[in-house]
Structure 1
């Protein structure tokens, strides 16, 4: 930020906190504490970032007070002309940013975006033809039995997605998730030796299972995906290709992923969050071809409630920021920094799933330290390093305790970290893991949750972290009084 913008931001946030404190001072204090904690921590959660003051401020407006179910020009509430303007601008920026035919900016989250996509595919591929067939009977005269037939058809379709332990997401058909209950689902994994996607095996599974929906994309797969091959597989079996790019949308927007690694030219529907590597507000996004646009446009009221107009406005600001040349430099640095972080682990004897990375995240197998992912996550947090535990392929500890930690570079790249800083980060993490032992259970056995971090290690790591963090302040020049 420039000095003038820093002064304006400082004044705006200080006054806003005064207003909040006049009603509930504990919330104002928690807000101040959150900024202090984020400034003092090494944030390495791959799904988190730092939004700009412009994006953050856009969310705190009276657009929050407006109901606007429906779509631009077709609302169920009066007085939505300004919401129409905001949504149109956000959609325009999203189309231009990603080169998409159609953009839907109403989803409140990535899960909502995926639900919109799933039901849009079902409506387009199942409901539409079924209703056309039913027209001969007149839709208004359809019986309960007729609608029950449709519900059976909608609820018995097949979905093939990446398994959770291979790097997929809960919403890609994981049985406890709604996606695993909506669909008759199966999952594809990765090669047990390399941890990499085997497209021939994915194709073979698709031929055997014949899914209506083939889901690509990931939340913990540290490599790029060939979406042209995934489209070939989908076309061969007559499936709709849906790509969830929530994690790597910023790398697509910043032209780090191009050609076959850019999902937008290849997928029928692409979903995303607008935070993570895209560095916007917490929210969701759906991109689609014109063929699927009418179905996606029914997201509200089909799946969603009233759109969050203040968040759509913030999405417009974030998309505008991502269209600037500086964002392309940022996105490339995110990928470069991930490689530096991976190299830092490998030179110190760390075990990485797939042996490295070529996107924004690194997945560390902590088994060699005798720890579960939960123990590693907790020990690192005690030392001021914020990560999240994550499953590794064929994880013996399951999805709760896990055997890995997932690390991402988007947030610290926003702060200005480069190669040397991420090498140091790898060193700090290895120091914590190497000096952590599993705790014991009440029965005297080996615990999967508790841990013992050697004396002095947390303070040492925090002191070394502070040296780097002080050189790269978060929201530089922004001071709260």
Structure 2
């Protein structure tokens, strides 16, 4: 008869986590007490604020504890079974398990767990696409055996052949990301870039317009994905556009990977079956450690495996271990419930704003984020972000389509539901959050400049509003404690 291993209760797990963190902090204090203090303060700050930043979440104690171990001490450049350092057998196990969970979770043919961040994952993807396109016609033409042996003159020839390595991605003000080919970012140095935006009236993606631009521009890479677009994307249509113009379809799902993992996005809205390469971070809606992943069709596997040394150095083995734990958590049935709750809560937050007369980009949401246009309150995004922070509500300012205030001051505030959903917030709580936010914005006034014109950064909040909002936020947070039972 098989023995049954009893699962520890939440109370037991919290007690064990408390013991572990207290022990760790006591050791840290013997070397640098200020760091131990900052760690304790960060937990207190996160417990005491309404965290609505769409790119943030709360990792489990198991994920967080996995990062503090001896795997941090090991160099392991290369790939599983093919390292440039000896003694990497345990790292091989870690990377194998992380990649296995990623493949199974997302239904991917291949997974690469080494990228340290989202930009690293994107750079690996970009260079993998270039390597694949180079090697398909055969490197023998240039008298070399692998892409790393190409001379600068060879690269110049290839750039011209590839139409100056053109990339087409979503514009920043429509919700795209800096790493999708924009000039200030390294991706903008690699590619001649153009952008597609959204419909001026609906602020939704116009696939016919994307196709028109692609036919005209003929990109080498068509990039789909976003950081501030509050709607789903039809990746089947994006794949059709890419195929028509001979482009490689790359999808950056860093923001919505948890909704893909949790099967909220399926069919045409799941990028993995349709894209050649998919990149993601492992935090945000996935609730893992800060890091990246690359998922790809099998034909790209050998090219992606060259991420080290082409883009990356030694992988962060302790973080890969934490990725494996987080991905294992995401394969549990309860994660699907969580992912659906994230989407339902975003809808409740959007409805809460709309019922109070607020203006939202695209008029709502069907993913994990809401983009609030604050121009109607006479505020810039920077003023709104700061006033909300003063009131215990953590958000980030964000550009809206055709934003007159640009990318620094902006006219919008981006809000996401993954973090507070992890704390157990439900639709009624998010309606209350919307009420609190509107209450602050309607009582915030821009401070005028010396000329008497409204300023873009400074502001005043009516007396007592910030304090009252703080108190109301504390009541909400008290109903849904962060890491309940964890006592430092």
Q: If the TM-score is normalised by the length of the shorter chain, which range does it land in? A: over 0.9
Distance in 2 separating the partners of 1:170 and 1:351: 25
Q: Which of 32, 40, 57 is the equivalent residue of 2:65?
A: 57
Which residue pairs with 1:18 in the alignment?
26
CA shift, 1:178, in A, is 1.2
In the TM superposition, residue 148 of structure 1 has moved relative to its aligned partner by 4.9
> Paired residue for 1:394?
402
Worse-matched range after superposition: 437-446 or 143-152? 143-152
Aligned to 2:471: 463
Structure 1 CA distance for aligned equivalents of residues 364 and 121 of structure 2: 30
* Aligned partner of 2:289 among 275, 281, 290: 281
Q: Counterparts of 1:246-257 in structure 2 under 5 Å?
A: 246-257=254-265
**Where does residue 298 of structure 1 map in the other structure?**
306
Counterpart among 430, 441, 448 of residue 440 in structure 1: 448
Q: Cα–Cα, structure 1 residues 434 and 292, in superposed 2: closer, same or farther, change >3 Å?
A: same
Deviations 1:218-245 (A, max 9, x none): 1000000000000000000000000000
Matches of 1:409 and 1:145, distance apart in 2:
49
Aligned equivalent of 1:406: 414
Residues 128-137 or 212-221, more deviating = 128-137
For normalisation by structure 2, the TM-score amounts to 0.96
Aligned to 1:355: 363
Instruction: State the match for 1:174 in structure 2.
Output: 182
Aligned CA distance change for structure 1 residues 213 and 138 (closer, same or farther; 3 Å): closer
CA contact (8 A) 1:343 1:356 kept: yes
What pairs up with 1:72-221 in 2 under 5 angstroms? Answer: 72-126=80-134, 129=137, 131-135=139-143, 145-146=153-154, 148-150=156-158, 156-221=164-229
- Output the CA distance in 2 between the equivalents of 1:43 and 1:348: 21
Distance 1:136 1:26, change over 3 A: closer
User: Is residue 2:49 matched to residue 1:38?
Assistant: no
CA distance in 2, matches of 1:102, 1:161: 24
1:440–1:446 CA contact under 8 A, matched in 2: yes
Which residue of 67, 77, 80 maps to 1:69?
A: 77
Query: Residue 138 and residue 211 in structure 1: after superposition, are their counterparts in 2 closer, same or farther (change >3 A)?
Result: closer
Supply the distance in 2 between the matched residues of 1:309 and 1:62 (Cα, whole angstroms).
Answer: 9
Query: What is the deviation of 1:173?
Result: 1.6
Matched, 1:241 2:280: no
Q: Offset of 1:127 from its aligned partner?
A: 5.2
In structure 1, stretches of 5+ residues that fail to align are none
SS in 2 for 1:129: coil
Q: Cα–Cα, structure 1 residues 408 and 476, in superposed 2: closer, same or farther, change >3 Å? A: same
Work out the CA distance in 1 between the residues paired with 2:420 and 2:472.
15
Question: How far apart are 1:149 and its partner, in Å?
Answer: 3.3
For residue 366 of structure 2, give the secondary structure of its aligned residue in structure 1: coil
Three-state SS of the structure 1 residue aligned to 2:370 is: strand
Q: Structure 1 residues 269, 80: CA separation in 2 closer, same or farther (over 3 Å shift)?
A: same
- Compared CA separation, residues 141 and 348, structure 1 to 2 (3 A): closer
Q: List runs of 5+ in structure 2 lacking aligned partners.
A: 1-8
Aligned residues of 1:155 and 1:182 also touching (Cα < 8 A):
no
Per-residue CA deviation, residues 189-217 of structure 1 (Å, 9 max, x unaligned), is 00000000000000011011110100001
TM-score by length of 1: 0.97
Q: CA deviation at 1:129?
A: 2.9
